[in-house]
């Protein structure tokens, strides 16, 4: 029940709202019991044809309890929904803040569809935690105590009789319901998550599915998951129907038993006959507090599974160890000394014994075959991961002495896969600096050679770029990424395959913007294309995670090693084209 305890702890900031909602729930039940009791008494007493004055109190009581019940029910629903929505907001905020530090090191191992299911479906499932799991037992407990006192005032036997049926309906049926639905609820949450993940994967890869003619195969997988979900929902409904039937049966048995116990006392003159209907109807009305308990037991299983899935991600260890107090980054020399790193235990090292130095204001190019470890160097500099051995120093200080926030304030990145959000060009640029003025946005766009294109659009900087920026060409997306870097104006610049997948003409335009961006900045350029590296101050050649060669462009050509082979291969491909 560790998950239950953790979910319960998250309600503590709203404890006064929860107590108010429970109090209003009890008042609603009390008003309902009062309405049924006074109504029964009024009808029974009126049958004896007393004077109207003798019925005034009961008449006023019916009116009072009728109005009070409506008022309390409204207030209880309002406060309960307020608690539920605030809890959901808290769950969403907590989960996002928990997974944000895990990106990208941990989250890249998770299916995007499954993560989306946890963020949406599992958190939505937790809306039942307060309304259907937490509050009903509290309301039922207070109601049971109140009914014990009320019926005990007539005769302790009445209180014991009702308590017996309370235990059956409020403990026995919920326990049976929980046992029957626990595994179903767990499978229901998991199957729904799997179906959601499959749907997201299929939608994201729809073009490939159609292109390769795999529609039938993917459709079959979705249908199988959907059939499994329907099967579980049917079993869930059967348990729900069973607990409803048992609850209604116990309500009627309780009323009949109360009459069976009370009638002999009326016959013996120990109880006034006008109270006979009152006892039976009061018992029936009080079950309004007990009936939600089997539903609470049923919802407990799904809530616990949803909570477990959320904590499963949120509890993953952070990929980096943040310092207690971050050093200030003021100098931007970079030094790698015998750095070793692997992404997961048991797999080949991504880097092993890599060393190089880069002075402030210089440009270092990192080249090598695919999988050589080029992007790993960028990931370590951004502190997405911590290295295992060796030393990385920035500005003369160990990089682990800087918090990730302090480090990223001074680094701008232009990568191969620039993510643009489905919003305006202006808002996509302001990711780099949210307080940037219109003039600063335009200056950054001009430096990236995209201002004229943006100005030619009917809505200018207010143009929507579409999902992942698909309304723009590859070159336009890259120039927006460069404009972001200009706007951030960071002293450290990382270019990770910034011109990959671009045609020759677009690449030439992007390279012009990048050359302007590099001026006065310490730059690390990661690329598999060697064109334009003649101006780099230093070139590092990696192969299989090891440092193969390093030097200037001309020095490496004279060595006739891996760099020379890559240079010759690319030139031959260019000339043959």
Give the N- to C-terminal CA distance of the chain in Å, as an integer: 67
Residue 574's pLDDT is 58
pTM of the model: 0.81
Give residues with Cβ within 8 angstroms of 247, minimum separation 6: 169, 173, 287, 290, 291, 294
Arithmetic mean of pLDDT, 386-404: 93
Q: Quickly state the pLDDT bin for 276 (edges 50, 70, 90).
A: confident
Write the pLDDT tens digit of every residue in 312-330. 999 988 888 889 899 999 8
Half-sphere exposure of 180 (CA within 13 A, CB side): 18
* DSSP secondary structure, 463-520, as one string: -B--GGGTTS-HHHHHHHHHHHHHHHT-SEEEEESTTTT--HHHHHHHHHHHHHHHTT
Give yes or no for a contact between 502 and 443, defined as CB atoms under 8 angstroms apart: no
- For residue 269, the Cα-to-chain-centroid distance in whole angstroms is 65
Which token pair is 166?
């309370």
Residue 54: predicted pLDDT: 76
Q: What is the mean pLDDT of residues 40-46?
A: 86
What is the set of domains in the chain, with CATH numbers? 2-314 (1.20.1560.10), 416-489 (3.40.50.300)
Cβ distance 522 to 362 under 8 Å? yes
Confidence class for position 196, pLDDT limits 50, 70, 90: confident
Whether the predicted pLDDT of 265 surpasses 60: yes
Rounded-to-integer distance, Cα 129 and Cα 116, Å: 20
Q: Where are the alpha helices (DSSP H) in 497-543?
A: 504-518
pLDDT > 60? residue 575: no
What is the per-residue pLDDT for 573? 61
Number of CB atoms found within 10 A of residue 348's CB: 11
pLDDT of 25 reads 93
Structure tokens, 569: 């291969």
Question: Does residue 382 surpass a pLDDT of 70?
Answer: yes
In Å, what is the CA distance from 283 to each residue of 5, 27, 85, 260? Answer: 33, 16, 33, 13
- Is the Cβ–Cβ distance between 356 and 392 less than 8 Å? no
360 falls in which pLDDT band (50, 70, 90)?
very high
Indicate the SS3 state at residue 1.
Answer: coil
- The two beta strands, 351-358 and 334-341, are antiparallel
Judged against a pLDDT cut of 60, whether residue 577 lies above it is answered with: no
Residue 337, pLDDT above cutoff 90? yes
Average pLDDT over residues 129-138: 89
- What backbone torsions phi and psi does residue 539 show, to the nearest 5 degrees? -125, 130
Q: What pLDDT, on a 0 to 100 scale, did the predictor assign at position 352? A: 94
Q: Which two tokens stand for residue 186?
A: 């767990």
pLDDT band at 128 (very low <50, low <70, confident <90, very high): confident
Return the structure tokens found at 431: 């990711």
Q: What pLDDT is stored for residue 17 in this prediction?
A: 92
Do the beta carbons of residue 233 and residue 145 sit within 8 Å? Answer: no
Reported confidence tier of residue 576, pLDDT bands at 50, 70, 90: low
Looking only at Cα atoms, what is the longest distance across the chain?
A: 120
- Considering only residues 46 and 20, tell me which one the structure prediction assigns the higher pLDDT: 20
Provide the pLDDT for residue 218: 87
- Residue 466: what are its φ and ψ, rounded to 5°? 85, 170
The backbone region for 369, taken as left when phi is positive above 0, alpha when psi lies in -120 to 50, beta otherwise, is beta
Which of 60-64, 93-97, 197-201, 560-564 bottoms out in mean pLDDT, i.e. has the lowest? 197-201
Mean pLDDT of the chain, nearest integer? 89
Which pLDDT score, from 0 to 100, does residue 274 have?
85
Beta pairing class for 538-543 and 546-551: antiparallel
Contact 353, 340 (CB under 8 A): yes
Stretch 134-152: mean pLDDT: 91
SS3 203: helix
By CB neighbour count within 10 A (0-12 exposed, 13-18 middle, 19+ buried), where does 575 fall?
exposed
* Confidence grade of residue 473 (pLDDT, cut at 50, 70, 90): confident
Q: Which of 430, 414, 394 is nearest to 497 (CA)?
A: 414
The two tokens of residue 179 are 């046992």
Q: State the Cα–Cα distance between residues 332 and 215, nearest whole angstrom.
A: 52
The Cα–Cα gap between 465 and 420 comes to 7
């Amino acid at each position: 029940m560790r998950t239950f305890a953790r979910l319960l702890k998250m309600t503590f900031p709203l404890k006064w709202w929860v107590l108010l909602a429970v109090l209003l729930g009890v008042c609603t039940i009390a008003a309902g019991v009062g309405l049924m009791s006074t109504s029964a008494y009024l009808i029974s007493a009126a049958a004896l044809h007393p004077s109207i004055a003798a019925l005034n109190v009961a008449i006023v009581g019916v009116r009072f309890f009728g109005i009070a019940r409506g008022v309390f029910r409204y207030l209880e629903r309002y406060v309960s929904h307020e608690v539920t929505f605030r809890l959901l907001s808290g769950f969403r905020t907590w989960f996002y803040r928990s997974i944000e530090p895990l990106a990208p090191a941990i989250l890249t191992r998770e299916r995007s569809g499954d993560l989306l299911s946890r963020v949406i479906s599992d958190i939505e499932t937790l809306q039942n935690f307060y309304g259907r799991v937490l509050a009903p037992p509290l309301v039922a407990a207070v109601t049971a105590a109140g009914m014990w006192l009320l019926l005990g005032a007539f005769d302790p036997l009445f209180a014991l009789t009702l308590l017996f049926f309370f235990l059956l309906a409020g403990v026995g049926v919920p326990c049976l319901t929980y046992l029957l639905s626990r595994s179903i609820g767990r499978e229901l949450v998991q199957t729904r998550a799997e179906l959601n993940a499959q749907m997201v994967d299929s939608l994201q890869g729809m073009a490939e599915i159609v292109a390769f003619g795999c529609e039938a195969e993917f459709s079959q997988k979705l249908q199988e998951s959907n059939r499994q979900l329907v099967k579980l929902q049917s079993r869930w409904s059967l348990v729900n129907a069973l607990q409803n039937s048992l609850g209604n049966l116990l309500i009627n048995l309780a009323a009949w038993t109360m009459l069976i116990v009370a009638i002999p006392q009326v016959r013996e003159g120990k109880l006034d006959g006008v109270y006979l209907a009152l006892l039976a109807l009061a018992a029936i009305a009080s079950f309004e507090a007990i009936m939600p308990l089997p539903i609470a037991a049923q919802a407990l299983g799904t809530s616990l599974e949803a909570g477990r899935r959320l904590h499963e991600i949120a509890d993953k260890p952070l990929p980096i160890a943040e310092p207690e107090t971050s050093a200030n980054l003021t100098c931007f020399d970079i030094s790698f000394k015998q750095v070793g790193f692997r992404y997961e235990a048991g797999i080949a090292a991504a880097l092993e014994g890599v060393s190089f130095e880069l002075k402030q204001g210089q440009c270092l190019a990192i080249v090598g075959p695919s999988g050589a470890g080029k992007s790993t160097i960028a990931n370590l500099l951004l502190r997405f991961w911590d290295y295992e051995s060796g030393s990385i120093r920035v500005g003369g200080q160990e990089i682990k002495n800087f918090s990730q926030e302090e480090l990223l304030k001074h680094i701008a990145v232009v990568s191969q896969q620039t993510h643009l959000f489905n919003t305006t060009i202006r808002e996509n640029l302001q990711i780099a600096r949210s307080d940037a003025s219109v003039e600063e946005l335009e200056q950054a766009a001009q430096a990236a050679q995209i201002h004229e294109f943006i100005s030619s659009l009917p809505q200018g900087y207010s143009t929507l770029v579409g999902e992942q920026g698909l309304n723009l060409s590859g070159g336009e997306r890259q120039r927006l990424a460069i404009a972001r870097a200009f706007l951030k104006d960071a002293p450290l610049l990382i270019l990770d395959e910034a011109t990959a997948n671009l045609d020759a003409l677009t690449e030439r335009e992007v390279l012009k913007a990048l050359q302007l961006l590099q001026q006065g900045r310490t730059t690390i350029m990661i690329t598999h294309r060697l064109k334009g590296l003649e101006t780099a101050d230093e070139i590092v050649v990696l192969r299989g995670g090891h440092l193969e060669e390093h030097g200037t462009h001309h020095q490496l050509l004279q060595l006739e090693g891996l760099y020379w082979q890559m240079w010759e291969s690319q030139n031959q491909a260019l000339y043959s084209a």
